[in-house]
A and B are shown apart, each in its own frame.
Chain A
Amino acid sequence: MYMRKTLIIAGLLMSTQMGVAQESRFGVPATQADIDKRFWSVFPDGEFLPEGEGNVAEGAELFEYNCNLCHNYPDENDPNKNAIGKLFGGHETMGTDNIDRTIGSYWPHPTTVFNYIRRAMPLIAPMSLTNSEYYSLTAYLLHENGIIGENDVINKDTLPKVQMPNRDGFVNAYPDIPEKYRTKQ
């Protein structure tokens, strides 16, 4: 046991050069299936968006059955209205310091909608729909927020091209918060 640890440490000291794959000591090569099972991200430029296609009408129907229960607030005065992600409206708050965090008024990238709902929604049955159905729901959410037209289709080519109203609303704070927002200290 002691011998083995010593060997491992010696191995560690030798593995310094970045970018050179070391012989893995205990990991095993990951297959494409291993990766596909665990990796769900899609990028703003469309990388990793799957095949399939959706439209607003189908999205509206799917929303009614799968999402309305939690995301529809017919009563504007419902105190719980904003307790979970508010998905629609808020355009009039754009440009103010208290912008509503909705898809239409806040979200900077259209791909985030697909990225999130495919992995996480409906909350009680995530990943239970098809890629085309998630594209349809994405289309519906974008349309309800006044971002795409009623007859627009959403797929891996059209989604990254959608222009979000608040696409210029974010300031990168990594690695440093811009001077303007720093405290005097």
Chain B
Amino acid sequence: MYMHNNKGKNLQIDATDHVAPGGLLSRRLFLNSALATTAALATTRAAYGQEDMVGEGQEDWTLYPGSDALEYGERSRFEVDRVRRTAGPGYQNEEFASLRTIVHRARTPHQDLMGTITPSGLHFELTHHGIPDIDPEQHAVVIHGMVKQPLKYNIEALENYPTITREHFLECSGNSLALWSEKPQEWNLQRMHGLLSGSQWTGVPLSTLLDECGVSPDAKWIIAEGADSGSLSRSIPIDKALKDSMIAIYQNGERIRPGQGYPMRLFNPGYEGNTSVKWIRSLHVTDRPAMSRFETSTYTDKMPDGKALQFTLEIDVKSMITRPSNAMSLKKHGLYEITGLAWSGKGKIDRVEVSVDGGKTWAEAALEGPIQSIMLTRFRIPWLWQGEPAILQSRAIDEFGRVQPSRSELVEARGTKGTYHYHGYQSWGVGTNGKISNVYT
């Protein structure tokens, strides 16, 4: 059978290419470029009766010299609507929003992005007390408490240390929270899953600095505080701090931006976003948590028995399909690539499986390497859609064999009132008309 893929190329598909019912095809089809592309590049050089300038028919940008390079580069003017929307229409009453709330949310538009690194300007931001405008000359972090020698480091001091560079995802524990809702909410992909991003972070391992201060063997926690107008504070287990936390000063190769904690932030790989305290200025070494607001009243998960889970710090194994998703619709029958992101706060992604029949059958997707620990991993699998209704789902398995639960498995264990740490499936229902919506199975 011959089909057109969504880029209009011809493709030969036979029965052995189907890996699961519903049109899921062997990932080899895309991987090995085994596409029987027969696109003929038509030669359009015709014999002209008279001699034209040779550039006849070229676009202006080919015919006129372009502009000078900018001091700081910008995106194409045709791409500027790919932005982080801070709130959807009707999300909050405008007047109220400006007067009474200052919790700002800017979400990553995953429907527009590819690869695994989120451009710095599209990295999600959630700030409880706004973004401070910090003069780096006047900023420093102090490490104190149960240490031999309390020390103070400014950005200049930190710049002297050998740095480490790691690619890591960061996810707000409130990401995807509408999937806890008893009925499916029509939040688009960006609003639903946009409090998640991936970046390259460069900084000084916290263990290096803690070592210099001489941490007491009885220390168990570190209380981190920021310099924002809420002096945001979280308690971090010392085991984590010594294992892989860093004071990050660069993001994607340039100094961290104000919304990400300029000039320095704590970064705790794989932990819920709020613990990676931005604008870090105090690290108090102690033997117990401080029980700050953001580890008691907020970011705690209400369970069916009336209790609440506290210090649910590590992000579970999770994935979502970004294309197709409810941020778009399928315009014609044919070949599509299902692609999305998988991540785990513990380590590497081992496998991602995709279903187009609401979880009845699954096929393994191809993972795009290199697969990095505690980083987004992109998966993809070809899908032939011939107009039948479908439910697209992905489930990730990490290197420790942890399997992402379905929504109903998660709800069975934790109820629907948890608010935070949703990590079950995202199910995209595809109608016969190609319209895509958030559904539950």
- A: residues with CB less than 8 A from B are 5, 8-9, 12, 15-16, 18-30, 34-35, 38-44, 69-70, 79-80, 83-85, 94-99, 101, 103, 106-109, 111-112, 115-116, 119-120, 123, 126, 169-175, 177, 181-185
Q: Which residues of B contact A177 (CB under 8 A)?
A: 309, 312
Per-position 1/0 for B207-238, Cβ under 8 A of A: 01101111111000001010101110100010
Q: Which residues of A contact B409 (CB under 8 A)?
A: 183-185
Is there contact, CB below 8 Å, between A184 and B211? no
Q: Is B1 at the interface (CB under 8 A from chain A)?
A: no
Is there contact, CB below 8 Å, between B215 and A119? no
Q: Is B2 at the interface (CB under 8 A from chain A)?
A: no
- In the complex where A80-B93, A96-B306, A183-B410 touch, is A109 in contact with B296 (Cβ < 8 A)? yes
CA A43 to CA B292, docked complex, whole Å:
9
Is there contact, CB below 8 Å, between B291 and A30? no
5 cross-chain pairs, A with B, having the tightest CB-CB distances, nearest first: A21-B214, A21-B148, A27-B151, A174-B311, A120-B230
Is there contact, CB below 8 Å, between B309 and A173? yes
In this complex, what residue of A is CB-closest to B317? A185
Q: Which residues of A contact B3 (CB under 8 A)?
A: none
Is there contact, CB below 8 Å, between B231 and A40? yes
Q: Which residues of B contact A30 (CB under 8 A)?
A: 142-144, 150-152
In this complex, what residue of A is CB-closest to B401? A185
Q: Is B30 at the interface (CB under 8 A from chain A)?
A: no
Q: Which residues of B contact A44 (CB under 8 A)?
A: 291
Is there contact, CB below 8 Å, between A15 and B211? yes
CA A79 to CA B92, docked complex, whole Å:
9
Is there contact, CB below 8 Å, between B150 and A35? yes
Q: Which residues of A contact B160 (CB under 8 A)?
A: 8, 25-26
CA A102 to CA B374, docked complex, whole Å:
34
Is there contact, CB below 8 Å, between B142 and A120? no
Q: Is B149 at the interface (CB under 8 A from chain A)?
A: yes
Task: Please classify the interface of chain A as helix (H, G, I), strand (E, B), loop, or mixed, using the class held by over half of its residues.
Answer: loop
Interface residues of B in 128-153 (CB under 8 A from A): 128-129, 140-144, 147-153
Is there contact, CB below 8 Å, between A24 and B149? yes
Is there contact, CB below 8 Å, between B214 and A20? yes
Is there contact, CB below 8 Å, between B100 and A70? yes
Can you sample 29 A-B contacts with CB below 8 Å? A5-B162, A8-B161, A18-B217, A21-B149, A22-B211, A24-B149, A27-B209, A29-B150, A30-B142, A30-B150, A34-B140, A39-B225, A40-B231, A41-B284, A69-B100, A80-B93, A84-B100, A98-B417, A99-B302, A99-B306, A101-B298, A107-B296, A115-B291, A169-B306, A171-B303, A171-B308, A177-B309, A181-B309, A185-B402
- In the complex where A22-B214, A40-B225 touch, is A111 in contact with B291 (Cβ < 8 A)? yes
Is there contact, CB below 8 Å, between B231 and A172? no
B219 CB to nearest chain A CB (Å): 9
CA A38 to CA B160, docked complex, whole Å:
23
Is there contact, CB below 8 Å, between A25 and B212? yes
CA A107 to CA B308, docked complex, whole Å:
11
Is there contact, CB below 8 Å, between B212 and A21? yes
- In the complex where A26-B160, A30-B142 touch, is A107 in contact with B297 (Cβ < 8 A)? yes
Is there contact, CB below 8 Å, between B142 and A39? yes
Is there contact, CB below 8 Å, between A19 and B216? yes
Is there contact, CB below 8 Å, between B291 and A97? no
Is there contact, CB below 8 Å, between A120 and B231? yes
CA A101 to CA B223, docked complex, whole Å:
23
Is there contact, CB below 8 Å, between B306 and A39? no
Is there contact, CB below 8 Å, between B302 and A98? yes
Is there contact, CB below 8 Å, between B302 and A115? no
Q: Which residues of B contact A123 (CB under 8 A)?
A: 102, 129
Q: Is B157 at the interface (CB under 8 A from chain A)?
A: yes
A165 CB to nearest chain B CB (Å): 12
Q: Which residues of A contact B361 (CB under 8 A)?
A: none
Q: Is B8 at the interface (CB under 8 A from chain A)?
A: no
CA A41 to CA B293, docked complex, whole Å:
11
Choose among A44, A85, A98, A120 the residue with the greatest number of B CB atoms under 10 Å from its CB. A120
Is there contact, CB below 8 Å, between B297 and A119? no
Is there contact, CB below 8 Å, between B297 and A41? no
Is there contact, CB below 8 Å, between A28 and B152? yes
Is there contact, CB below 8 Å, between B162 and A21? no
CA A184 to CA B411, docked complex, whole Å:
11
Is there contact, CB below 8 Å, between B290 and A18? no
Q: Is B75 at the interface (CB under 8 A from chain A)?
A: no
Given contacts A27-B209, A43-B291, A171-B307, 5 further A-B contacts (CB under 8 A): A12-B208, A115-B292, A120-B231, A173-B311, A183-B412
Is there contact, CB below 8 Å, between A115 and B149? no
Q: Which residues of B contact A185 (CB under 8 A)?
A: 402-405, 409
- In the complex where A107-B296, A170-B300 touch, is A19 in contact with B214 (Cβ < 8 A)? yes
Per-position 1/0 for B39-74, Cβ under 8 A of A: 000000000000000000000000000000000000
